[in-house]
A and B are shown apart, each in its own frame.
Chain A
Amino acid sequence: MIQENLVSTSWFLPELGLTAGIMLMFLLDLAWKRHPRRVLFLTVGTLLFLGLAGVLLAMQPSAPRALFNGMIASDPFATFFKWLFLAAAALTVLIAAGSTEFGRHQIGVFYPLLLSIVLGMFLMASAVDLLMMYLAVELVSLISYALAGYRQGDRKAAEAALKYVIYGGVASGIMLFGMSYIYGLTGTTSLLGLGKALDGLAAGAMGSSQTALRVALVVAVIFVLCGVGFKIASVPWHMWCPDVYEGAPTPFTAFLSVGPKAAGFALAVRFFWSALAGSPLGNGPGALTEGLSDLPWPAIIGVLAAVTMTLGNLTAIVQNNLKRLLAYSSIAHAGYALMGLCAASAVGVQSVMIYLLVYLVMNLGAFLVVIVVAQATGSELIDAYKGLGRRHPLSAVSFAIFLFSLTGLPPFAGFTGKWYLFVAVLQNYSLPGGGWYAALAVIGALNSAVSLYYYMRIARAMFLEAPVGAVTVRPHLGYQIMLGVFSVALLLFGVWWSPLIDWTQQSLVFLRG
């Protein structure tokens, strides 16, 4: 057992690299306390540790393998998400470095805490044991609570943090309760053995006990979904999202909207795929629903998806604070991505992966413009964006590109992502009892049209209305370069997305029991 742990360590190097980074960055923060170029040094240091984790990740063999006695998995699926987290963290560090929301001293603690979240997300993406899943979620959540209230002396930040803690505590408690159901039924916490154990239970049970088993399992699934839904901010576990997004420092909000959300999806995919799919991974539509196929989890997620995107989009229409608007929009996007999950197929998971990747770029970009404008005008309200098209064309045009991409208009990458989600859903409509997939696709499509309305409210303020006041918007060069790179990337992957397909296709390899 100890030997297994020791052997596993060599597959755990990226995480170890991050751990070293967390500890050293705390120390360096102290060492450079009064150094004049402290922010620059700390930023470079954090980026170096993220780079180190990246190098170690790139060196890892790609064959799937269980580590630490089946606690976590090392497989291409996890690796894909780890790259995504590293990218999100690195971009967040770059954004935070130029932000005025952190004091000179606060940033020294922000960086190592960010690295800790990345570590937690690494574990979320690779956990294959219910307990490990829970611990990873808690690691990410606890640090997120602290960072949500990071703006000192800000009432909104304090409120945000408190709300986050309460919602998070309840959600993870319910999730743990659901897990205890599963453990009680099967006697195992390993996701890898869960599928077989459930099939055995289903075969052994008869009549009324089969019904009881199914009810218990559906309740357990919904409870686990509660924890996942909290992380990805899906309805009805989304209440914290607008307040936290508004109260947290904007660079961290940007990170929160892409990183932990992606991690939540990784966790959900692994849970449903490993635990509830009886048959090996197939490529055809509906491959996941075999085995315990009468368990209606795709339908449960489908309903969640429809409600989440509709509610998110409709509520976003009336928002005037950009951070709140983007919070509701991110709820809606969680709904879109859930469509891929509920398709319960390899293409479905692939579409979620593509979507999260594209979403990372466009949403970070959108928050970056929010930071740029807030730095110049001190306001996050939509009125501050009036006439931005004339005051700073680069910011306005790239924001417009991010918004069009979020709407899902070609030729931007957001369209690619949405296209694959719809493909995944519509592929299933001809399955027996799969007619609701067609209805879900229509709901999703109409939601895109609704989202256009509030995204275009921003575009309208930027381009159609005259500026109020004479505030100059002049972001520093680093931000300008990032805006340009993000825009070009979205345009590029909107017309040439073969690399996205190839990469996600190769990453569709899971550790299986």
Chain B
Amino acid sequence: MISQHNVLSWATFFPLLGLGLIVFFAAVRALAGLSKTALDQASRIIATITSGGSLVCALLAWHWYDPSAAGYMVGGHATGVQLVQHFTWIKTFNVEYLVGVDGLSISMVLLSGLISFVATIASMPWWGGSKYLAMAGMTDHGDGHHPKHFSVRMVPGYMAMLLLLQTGMMGTFVSLDMFLFYVFWEVMLLPMYFLIGIWGGPRKEYAAIKFFLYTLVGSVLMLLAVIAIYYSSHSAQMADGTFSNAHTFNLLALAQQGREGVFTLAAPILGFAFTKIIFVALFIGFAIKIPMFPFHTWLPDAHVEAPTPVSVILAGILLKMGPYGILRFNYPLLPDATAWAAHAMAAFGVINIIYGAFVCLAQTDLKKLIAYSSVSHMGFTLLGMAAMTPTGISGAVFNMFSHGIISSMLFLIAGVIYDRAHHREIARFGGLASVMPEYSALTGLAFFASLGLPGMCGFISEFMVLTGSFPTFMLLTAISATGVIITAAYYLWAIHRAFLGKLNPLYQGYPDLVWRERLVLYPLGAIAIVLGCYPYAILNVINPTLFGLIASIRPL
């Protein structure tokens, strides 16, 4: 049933299948009378199974992907894209269903499957100590002071939105048709809005609409760029072997045309070069997702208000959409404009690194600190991408993967303490290590992974980015290296304040990790260490694609 020809579609639509089942059970409840508990449990089980199914498909795809294969051919050129599924969707408009993965997207597919499943597990009220469940408000009757935990509030709706989000994310990473990509890209917005807006914290409405508006502004600019690219493109071969009517949405064919300079010949827009305008429009759309300074202000709000699993998805996967989109659209389609913009990208990357790190120093809320650390760390990806050296760009993509793992872990950690204490003020904790040793050890692991301790994946990515970009941007790289020191400062200071020192008597008797939390934290920690010792597990897969990508961009 699942074969190399459809594994990506399965990975994408498995969660949607789960959504359908949940709707079906909700209809059964409305018509035939199913108890609320039964529906809640059913939707939890469905979400776990379908999200797990999506992960299995992602692993299969990872297994089947061969970095050395020539892959899908476009116009006689090998693209390295594999596991392709291809058929015509809207014939009259040349829109196709084209999914496939190259080294860049297969790493993101794996990350997406993994983090989605982790987030699903983290949404379950299962496997916890009874004492802890009451503290977290997961038992149905809360104590009145605290709102009910997100994992027991409107469960079918939550699970449905989570699954829809997973479909949108997976679809974005596998689609190679511009139109299809855009549809999946937008499909992610709605569930995210509701997940933050319904199950979020005190200022959830504000955070949700801010997230939605920022991202939509970016994506409407992207929409215009997509249309403009389409109408500047030439015809390409479609799934049925015929040639499309004058233009194409096929990203692989567009990349080929971009390398051939088709878009540099397009008519200028309001007197500006076509490629530059389109580059900027696409870049803003993607930069909002990264989030790049000055478009980053939605991120702290969204993270602070979102429930833990949603923060995990937001930091672990959604932020990766930004650089992924730049590498999928801007780099291959507009190589000239990319070379033109490289300095600006690097400069913004450095601003992200330094500014994010300094803002972290000023944070009192643990989750906000982690959110701003994401801003800082994603700056490394921007810097590495801009450098156009092999080490720089593979460091940038490796950073996307490793930040996905580490930041997910960090947000889970913030969620653990929030569930118990119902606040995240670093200064109000103290000496937690003496009551929650296991938790403190894992927090230390995650913090050190994030600040770039050798032996863990954060170190590899930062090291690669810095060494890779040094030849191109010496001064900027030197400045951003100081960001590493500030990062160490805010993490160590946070550990010092929250975990070390005298125990605040308020937190006496707090339960340590329960199985639900162990189940997600240990695997992520293990991956962080394994990748820190053997980064080639990822690098071997992504490098051929990335090297080919920067080879097409004229060196500076």
Interface residues of A, Cβ cutoff 8 Å to B: 404, 409-411, 415, 419, 422-423, 426-427, 429-430, 435, 438-439, 441-442, 445-446, 448-449, 452-453, 456, 459-460, 463-465, 495-498, 501-502, 505
Contact = CB atoms under 8 A, between A and B. Distances in A.
Main secondary structure of the interface of A (DSSP, over half): helix
Contacts of B359: none
Contact of A456 (B91, B212, B217, B223): B212
A247 B444 CA distance: 65
A449 B227 CA distance: 18
A438 B270 contact: yes
B91 A463 contact: no
B90 A426 contact: no
A452 B212 CA distance: 8
Given A404-B190, A410-B186, A442-B224, A429 B267 contact: yes
Given A426-B228, A435-B271, A446 B217 contact: yes
A404 B186 CA distance: 11
A463 B213 CA distance: 18
A441 B226 CA distance: 12
A449 B190 contact: no
A459 B329 CA distance: 33
Interface string B191-230: 0011001100000110011001100110011011001100
A442 B189 CA distance: 21
A498 B94 CA distance: 11
Contacts of A495: 183
A246 B186 CA distance: 33
Nearest to A460: B205
B93 interface: yes
B187 interface: yes
Given A448-B220, A456-B209, A501-B93, A409 B190 contact: yes
Contacts of A496: 90
Contact of B270 (A415, A435, A453): A435
B35 interface: no
Interface in B217-269: 217, 220-221, 223-224, 227-228, 231, 266-267, 269
Given A446-B220, A448-B216, A463 B198 contact: yes
12 contacts: A419-B227, A426-B227, A426-B228, A438-B270, A445-B223, A453-B213, A456-B193, A459-B193, A460-B197, A460-B209, A464-B205, A502-B92
Nearest to A436: B270
Interface of B: 90-93, 182-183, 186-187, 189-190, 193-194, 197-198, 204-205, 208-209, 212-213, 216-217, 220-221, 223-224, 227-228, 231, 266-267, 269-271
Contacts of A505: 92
B90 A498 contact: yes
Contacts of B208: 460, 464
Contacts of B228: 426, 429
A453 B209 contact: yes
Contacts of B189: 409
Given A411-B183, A438-B270, A452 B197 contact: no
A463 B197 contact: yes
Nearest to A424: B227
Nearest to A426: B227
B216 A429 contact: no
B193 A422 contact: no
A452 B269 CA distance: 27
Given A411-B183, A463-B194, A463-B197, A445 B90 contact: no
B421 to A, nearest CB: 25
Given A449-B216, A495-B183, A496-B90, 17 more contacts: A409-B189, A411-B187, A429-B270, A430-B266, A430-B267, A439-B270, A441-B224, A446-B217, A452-B212, A452-B213, A452-B216, A453-B209, A464-B198, A464-B204, A465-B205, A498-B90, A498-B92
A501 B269 CA distance: 28
A446 B219 CA distance: 10
A426 B205 contact: no
A452 B193 CA distance: 12
Contact of A435 (B193, B209, B269): B269
A5 B231 CA distance: 47
Contacts of B213: 449, 452-453
A439 B224 CA distance: 11
B136 to A, nearest CB: 21
A460 B200 CA distance: 13
A426 B230 CA distance: 10
Nearest to A409: B186
A8 B234 CA distance: 48
A460 B212 CA distance: 12
Nearest to A400: B190
A262 B92 CA distance: 25
Nearest to A452: B216
B227 A423 contact: yes
Contact of B224 (A410, A422, A502): A422
A452 B214 CA distance: 11
Contacts of A459: 193
B183 A410 contact: yes
Nearest to B220: A445
B220 A449 contact: yes
B91 A498 contact: yes
A410 B198 contact: no
Contacts of A445: 220-221, 223-224
A414 to B, nearest CB: 11
Nearest to A496: B90
Contacts of B220: 445-446, 448-449
A495 B208 CA distance: 26
A448 B221 CA distance: 11
Contact of B92 (A419, A430, A453, A501): A501
A205 B105 CA distance: 65
Contacts of B205: 460, 464-465
Nearest to A408: B220
A497 B271 CA distance: 35
A438 B90 CA distance: 26
Contacts of B209: 453, 456, 460
A465 B209 CA distance: 14
B217 A438 contact: no
Contacts of A502: 92
Contacts of A442: 221, 224
B144 to A, nearest CB: 15
Nearest to A497: B90
A153 to B, nearest CB: 39
B36 to A, nearest CB: 12
A95 B544 CA distance: 61
The 9 closest A-B pairs by CB, nearest first: A430-B267, A445-B220, A435-B270, A410-B183, A449-B217, A464-B197, A410-B186, A449-B216, A438-B269
A152 B269 CA distance: 56
Contacts of B183: 410-411, 415, 495
Contacts of B187: 410-411
Contacts of B212: 452, 456
A222 B174 CA distance: 50
Contacts of A423: 227, 231
Contacts of B182: 410
A277 B223 CA distance: 31
Contacts of B197: 460, 463-464
Contacts of A429: 228, 267, 269-270
B224 A426 contact: yes
A311 B267 CA distance: 31
A439 B231 CA distance: 17
Contacts of A446: 217, 220
A305 to B, nearest CB: 15
A74 B129 CA distance: 76
A438 B231 CA distance: 13
Q: Which of A452, A496, A497 has the most CB of B within 10 A?
A: A452
A426 B231 contact: yes
A466 to B, nearest CB: 11
Nearest to B274: A430
A231 B270 CA distance: 33
